[in-house]
Structure 1
Amino acid sequence: MPDRDAALAALNSHLALNADDSAHILEPEVRRAARDLERVTDPKHDLSAAQVLGWYHWLRHLALPAGDGRNDLAAATRFFAPVHRVSPQSVPEPLHRTLQESAVRPPVPEFDPRALATAQARAVDLLTAYERTGQQDVLEQAVAAFRTVSTMLPEDHPSHAAGLNNLGNALQFLSDRVGEIEILEEAVQVSRRAVTATSQGHPERAGLLNSLGVALFRLFERVGDIEVLKEALEVQREAVAVIPQGHHYRAMYLINLGNTLRTHFERIGDLAVLQEAAQLGREAVAATPRNDPGRAAYLNDLGNTLRTHFERIGDLAVLQEAAQLGREAVATAPRDHPNRAMYLHSLGNTLQFLFGRVDDIKVLKEAVQMSRKAVAATPQGQPHRAMYLNSLANALQTLSERTGRPEALEEAVQAGREAVAITPHNHPHRAACLTSLGVALQRLFERVGEIEVLREAVQVNREAVATVTHSDPHRVNSLNNLGNILQTLFERTGDIEVLKEAAQVSRKAVAATPHNHPNRAAYLNNLAGRLLALFEHIGELEVLKEAGQVVREAVATAPDNHPHHAVYLSNLGNILHTLFERTGDIEVLEEAAQVSRKAVATTPRNHPNRAVYLNNLTGTLAALFEHVGDIKVLRSHLIW
């Protein structure tokens, strides 16, 4: 994290660049610079920082389309207020009147405890009404009411920090509902003020730290800034450290820290971080009585962590435990529980993973059932409905592949389209929804053969790649899917430019995949196939050599017991055979025979691909015999 002076200089440099490019202020790195400055200083008492932050928000307000910059206008006014009192000329002229009027407002009336109590009760009632009805206008009224409460509380009032905390929490709800990142950033800022206003050792400090940690975590989910995630971890660790053992909320703070650690693992891949998350989740569940209303949430979150653990280590027992925890979470939550749909959704996802491992159709049908229930329990307009629809689409697509039922695939496409349609363009989950829809459309094309379905699949996958950030771990999957669908479009249309794009996209997928990633070999193999097809159409030897090099790495990357190791060996044999036909290098042909023989030898006799590998080996051996004419060489490669 930069110090105050460095953060101030960084944001100042961005403001200078904006003089030549008025859209520069909207770039993500400028937003990060502003957050960094807010993180290391208190603008209420640092006029230089307040002035720079005020100009940042003012310029954003001017750069955004009409109506979209209202939150930045409010922030600019707030930051410029202390600056205007001492240096009015340092403030944009259009704000002078507003700031002058606020400066001459009548003094705040004498503190009225009864009025405060009435305002607090109204704010709580409105938030409760929103939780019951889900109406956005009710939530907006609740936020306004909590703002009123926070302004009524003097800074020396014992409830001042609690008032800020309640406003921060309400702003988080509103950000979740409307998807505006500026509201979430304000929630973080308000929650920071609440923590700052609370002394070390204060009995409410742990709760305020936890609220700030949750707000930071949600902000990270939106912006992908690892520094925000690290701050969330730091804050949540402090919350756990200061809350006493046996405290009613300790389990909740443990599980929140565990969830953040799980996300941190997804970014850095350190298994020790994931193991700590699982340990904290187990501690939270163990500390929670069976009749505690929070137990279902802790079971659900621990199940999610164990599912992630399974994805890393592949231990079936861990995945089975995750499924059992998910089932218990669903069984524990009352039918009218506000988070029951989330638990159904999580269980459905875990069961999809379990089906992939055990191939039990009952497990898959249960996954579809859980996902259906999650969608049915979530009304139109609820922020998580798109995520639940996306999971349902994935489960239905798998069901169609397993059973051959076309209606399941058609329903998957319908659910996927709805998920994309209701997800805002700037939402972090939009790329995942687009990717799932793209795969479902590709499967539908394979079923019906309609070129318009295929073109829609390409368009959807292109948008998925364009939407996902470069730091998002799911970007690789989006690139791989786009490469797959582009190759399918080439096979249908014969457009060589489409094939070239498919190869380039696959190169990006491989480049973005860590060397220890479990799917790297598959992405390398896909790239090799596209390069081979490209060579066959343009005849460039360098392209063929690249294909050979890529598939060699796929073979080297996949362990001998990998389920697709024989596929990569056979593909390497085919590419080497083609390279021999172009160069006449007999050593290349001998290597082709060697790897093709290994592909056959490592494939069980009842495997459906064995005949293909035998056929490839036969063709290579025939070519080898034609060139060497030595029956001993031929016999040395025979499979007995």
Structure 2
Amino acid sequence: LTPDGHPDKAARLNNLGNAFRSRFECLGDLGDIENAILFNQQAVDLTPDGHPDKAARLNNLGIAFWSRFECLGDLGDIENAILFNQQAVDLTPDGHSDKAARLNNLGIAFWSRFECLGDLGDIENAILFNQQAVDLTPDGHPDKAARLNNLGNAFQSRFECLGDLGDIENAILFNQQAVDLTPDGHPDKAARLNNLGIAFESRFDRLGDLGDIESAILFNQQAVDLTLDGHPDKAARLNNLGNAFQSQFHRLGDLGDIENAILVKQQAVDLTPDGHPDKAARLNNLGNAFQSRFERLGDLGDIENAILVNQQAVDLTPDGHPDKAACLNNLGIAFQSRFDRLGDLGDIENAILVKQQAVDLTPDDHPAKAASLNNLGSAFHSRFDCLGDLGDIENAILLNQQAFDLTPDGHPDKVLWLNNLGIAFQGRFDRLGDLGDIENAILVKQQAVDLSPDGHPDKAACLNNLGNAFQGRFERLGNLGDIENAILSKQQAVDLTPDGHPDKAARLNNLGIAFQGRFDRLGDLGDIENAILFKQQAVDLAPDGHPDKAARLNNLGSAFQGRFDRLGDLGDIENAILVNQQAVDLTPDGHPDKAARLNNLGIAFQSRFDRLSDLGDIENAIFIKQQAVDLTLDGHPDKAAHLNNLEIALQSRCDPAGISLRKSPKI
């Protein structure tokens, strides 16, 4: 009804645009934000330079572009948001009552672009402008808490990029102040509690202080409880609460935590309508929770669900969206986990494919680049373990090294990248035997341990892996100091791992392997007793269906065989055959370790034949060792050993009197 040229036309267009934006923020209808931008743009275009409302209308237009960016992830929108918000700030004189609000909005726009592109200049600007907004806002002002909250979020984002503890301390400080200034019943109380919980979780992930994760769960739970059913942020807060439960699960191993994580993340997904901009992210997080439970319990249904929902997350994320790479990366991790369980080469091929896509989509200066490189390296390493292709382990080392090089000193992930780089060096050493590789493995794994303060959640993992490297060098050079260090490091890893932790069994298994290594060298019966003790505990802690159950049974069988070879107790070789058979039965056809486990079972049958001369045992030994040979590809590093073991079994059947002169090497 307002004709063109009317002096109030621009003001009314501005108000109409704001109304459409408000409805968009409530309902999420893209048509509303399109209209908001259209009418706010017309309002700006009709407002002459120098008009007292020019800055306000530029500010509103910038907010509208920001809102559409948050929905669609189009970089052009965030560029426009920054452009118009910056113009609004520049046109607002110092001392103006809206200066702080416009600085705040500009800071938010820089923060959003940082979250997308990872440019440190953007997060520096976000902190700068949000800090100015806070400083210009007097105590008692109704927006003080909101601006403190935004400043805290900006500090947290920089912490996640650089790992500077001062940033997460500031994040908690400002988010806590924001919560304290927000009265009960205020509509933003839940949002600020949610952000405070996220900050505590971030500090927990860095330092491992259980008080922090307890605070995170407390504040996230309060945020959920204060959020009414039907509220547009209910799903987001459930999702964040699920993340906190999952973090506590990773530290303590309490199954109740991962059950809670899956429960609330599923609720978050169910509450998020199709077409919602966060649907993909919540599916992605739910997939991660299913994967965590799979790694603990080994239920194939969980990894199937993980792949299903991670794939949905990828499919729902448009090309060019800032979260596309993260969703691809997590889908790749899920494929790799299923490969580790079932040995299907298609899964590791898919893992490498989608992780490579994640790397390619992540700019070199993005804070997630190092993590993507690290994860791709892990996939190449897994394929190397299966096929033995040297190109794969070369790629693993290259990618892990790049991840390490991209990560600044002090960053919380530096320890992880060092640890994984060391594992890759050790993998190449195991194949080629180059002492330089095991020296590098020990060097970087030791650095990882040294960088992990006492109480750090990854300290035990780093000690465990360092112990593996010392053991690898011991097996090559026979230096007793190395096996002593291996046992020491692995024992510390076990001691630091609480009962119920998902990695407790793996670390007990590795400690048992170290004791057996020393037994094989020195023959001390106490060592083989410890080996059997710890390996048995590892087996007992692995529930039926767990992906590592077969490996641990295989290792326990090796320990029983070792004691039988020393003492000749038939009970030990009976146990060796029993658990080796279970290991073989639990290993699916096509699994990369199937041949090795068949080989070890064949050795156990031959050992009983050597003792009792039962022809059924040597027939079983030959049959099983032949399967091991047939499953081992030409060029595989174990091919020669498996052929040698089969030859010994065949000779034993022909010349039973001479069988005691030769021993079958164990794999």
How far apart are the structure 1 equivalents of 2:281 and 2:451?
31
> Which residue is equivalent to 1:479?
508
Counterpart of 1:417? 446
Asked whether the 8 Å contact 1:465–1:475 carries over to 2, the reply is yes
Give 1:57-96 correspondences, 5 Å limit: none
1:258 aligns with 2:287: yes
Aligned-residue offset at 1:449? 2.7
**Cα distance in 1 between the residues matched to 2:149 and 2:597:** 65
Q: Could you tell me how far 1:371 is from its partner in structure 2?
A: 0.7
Deviates more, 1:311-320 or 1:189-198: 311-320
Amino acid at match of 1:563: A
Instruction: Please tell me whether the aligned partners of residues 400 and 408 of structure 1 are also in contact (alpha carbons under 8 angstroms).
Output: yes
1:535 Cα deviation (Å)? 4.0
- Is this contact kept in 1: 2:314–2:324, CA < 8 A? yes
Deviation, 1:366, is: 1.2
Shift of 1:415: 1.2
Aligned pairs, how many? 511
Residues 191, 208 of structure 1: 8 Å contact kept: yes
Structure 1 residues 129 and 351, CA, compared in 2 at 3 Å: closer, same or farther? closer
* Contact 2:618–2:649 (Cα < 8 Å) also in 1: no
Report if aligned partners of 1:486, 1:498 keep a CA contact under 8 Å in 2.
Answer: yes
Q: Does 1:443 align with 2:472?
A: yes
Given the superposition, is the C-alpha separation of residues 129 and 507 from structure 1 closer, same or farther in structure 2, using an over 3 Å criterion? closer
Separation in structure 2 between the aligned mates of residue 204 and residue 502 of structure 1, nearest angstrom: 52
What letter matches 2:221 in structure 1? R
Partner of 2:135: none
Using the alignment, how far apart are the partners of 2:318 and 2:188 within structure 1? 31
Letter in 2 for 1:595: N
Query: What are the residue-to-residue correspondences of 1:264-303 with 2, within 5 Å?
Result: 264-303=293-332
Report the TM-score when normalising by structure 2. 0.71
CA contact (8 A) 1:555 1:568 kept: no
8 Å contact 2:626–2:646 — kept in the other structure?
A: no
- 1:276-304, CA deviations, whole angstroms, 9 ceiling, x for partnerless residues? 22121122112212111111111111111
Partner of 1:346: 375
Tell me, yes or no, if structure 1 residue 361 matches structure 2 residue 390: yes
User: Which letter does structure 2 place at the counterpart of 1:286?
Assistant: D
Task: Tell me which of 610, 621, 638 is aligned to 2:643.
Answer: 610
Q: For 1:490-533, what per-residue CA distance to the aligned partner results, in whole angstroms no more than 9, with x for missing partners?
A: 23223222222223223333333445556555544543443344
Post-superposition shift, 1:390?
1.4
The reply to whether residue 592 of structure 1 matches residue 617 of structure 2 is yes
Q: Retained in 1: the 8 A contact 2:293–2:302?
A: yes
Q: Measured at CA, do residues 248 and 477 of structure 1 come closer, stay the same or move farther in structure 2, by a change above 3 Å?
A: same
Residue 184 (structure 2) pairs with residue 162 (structure 1): no
C-alpha RMSD over aligned residues: 2.9
Q: Call closer, same or farther: CA 1:406–1:264 in 2, change over 3 Å.
A: same
- Alpha-carbon distance in 2 for matches of 1:198, 1:603: 59
Unaligned 5+ runs, structure 1: 1-108, 581-587, 627-640
Deviates more, 1:547-556 or 1:201-210: 547-556
Map of 1:137 onto structure 2: 166
Aligned to 1:564: 596
**Which residue of 527, 534, 542 corresponds with 1:498?**
527
User: Would the aligned equivalents of 2:396 and 2:424 in 1 still touch at CA under 8 Å?
Assistant: yes
* Amino acid corresponding to residue 575 of structure 1 in structure 2: S
Q: Secondary structure at the match of 1:158?
A: coil
Q: For 1:425-468, what per-residue CA distance to the aligned partner results, in whole angstroms no more than 9, with x for missing partners?
A: 44443333222222211111233332111210111122233333
1:191 is the counterpart of 2:220: yes
Indicate which of 420, 427, 439 corresponds to 1:391. 420
Which amino acid in the other structure matches residue 235 of structure 1?
Answer: V
Partner residue of 2:262?
233
- SS of alignment partner, residue 614 of structure 2: helix
What whole-Å deviation, never above 9, does each CA across 1:162-205 have from its counterpart, x for those lacking one? 12112112222222232211011111111111111111111222
Q: Is 1:205 paired with 2:230?
A: no
Amino acid in structure 1 at the alignment position of 2:616: E
Separation of aligned partners in 2, 1:413 and 1:350: 22
Please give the alpha-carbon distance, in whole angstroms, between the structure 1 residues aligned to 2:614 and 2:432: 42
Deviation per CA, 1:61-81: give whole Å up to 9, x if none. xxxxxxxxxxxxxxxxxxxxx
| Residue 530 to residue 202, structure 1, CA distance change in 2 (3 Å) | closer
Q: CA deviation at 1:127?
A: 3.7
Paired with 1:625 and 1:356, the residues of 2 have a C-alpha distance of 36
> For residues 415 and 320 of structure 1, what CA distance do their matches in structure 2 show?
28
Query: Does the 8 A contact of 1:590 with 1:624 survive in 2?
Result: no
Residue in structure 2 matching 1:576, options 608, 615, 621: 608
Question: Aligned letter for 2:174?
Answer: A
Say if 1:259 and 1:542 are closer, same or farther in 2 by CA, change over 3 A: closer
Which of 477, 485, 490 is the aligned partner of 1:461?
490
* CA positional deviation for 1:394: 1.0
SS in 2 for 1:335: coil
**What secondary structure is seen at the aligned counterpart in 1 of 2:332?**
helix
Give, in whole Å, the separation in 2 of the partners of 1:534 and 1:540. Answer: 8
Q: Distance in 2 between matches of 1:601 and 1:336?
A: 52
Which whole-Å CA distance do the structure 2 matches of 1:553 and 1:268 have between them?
Answer: 18
Structure 1 CA distance, aligned partners of 2:439 and 2:493? Answer: 21
130-139 or 363-372, which deviates more: 130-139
Cα distance change, pair 264–557 in 1 and its aligned pair in 2 (3 A): closer
**Paired AA for residue 285 in structure 2:** N
Q: Is the 8 A contact 2:343 2:588 kept in 1?
A: no
Q: Is the 8 A contact 1:576 1:591 kept in 2?
A: no
| Superposed displacement of residue 226, structure 1 | 1.2
For 1:199, the aligned partner's letter is: L
Q: CA–CA distance in 1 between the matches of 2:166 and 2:369?
A: 24
In structure 2, the CA distance between the partners of 1:135 and 1:286, relative to structure 1 (3 Å rule), is same
Structure 1 residue 623 displacement after superposition: 3.9
Q: Check conservation: 2:558, 2:576, Cα contact below 8 A.
A: yes
CA contact (8 A) 2:599 2:625 kept: no
The code of the aligned residue for 1:367 comes to A
- Structure ranking higher on relative contact order (CA contacts 8 Å, 6+ apart): 2
Deviations 1:206-228 (A, max 9, x none): 22222212122112212211112
Equivalent residue of 1:113, what SS? Answer: coil
Cα offset, 1:145, TM superposition: 1.4
Shift of 1:423: 2.5
Q: How far apart are the structure 2 equivalents of 1:123 and 1:516?
A: 44
Distance 2:584 2:161 in 1: 56
- AA in 1 matched with 2:595: P
TM-score, length-normalised on structure 1? 0.73
Do 1:122 and 1:145's aligned partners in 2 also have CA atoms closer than 8 Å? yes
Quote the residue 1:222 is aligned against.
251
- CA deviation profile, 1:231-274 (whole Å, cap 9, x unmatched): 12121112112222222222111111111111122233332222
- Per-residue deviation, residues 1-37 of structure 1 (Å, max 9, x unmatched): xxxxxxxxxxxxxxxxxxxxxxxxxxxxxxxxxxxxx
Contact map agreement 1:506 1:526 (CA 8 A) in 2: yes
**Matched residue type, 1:253:** R
Contact 1:199 1:205 in 2 (8 A): yes
Unaligned 5+ runs, structure 2: 1-137, 660-667
Q: 1:497 to 1:332 in 2, by over 3 A?
A: same
Give the whole-Å Cα distance in 2 for the aligned partners of 1:470 and 1:225: 9
Kept after mapping to 2: 8 A contact 1:233/1:261: yes
Percent of pairs identical after alignment? Answer: 31
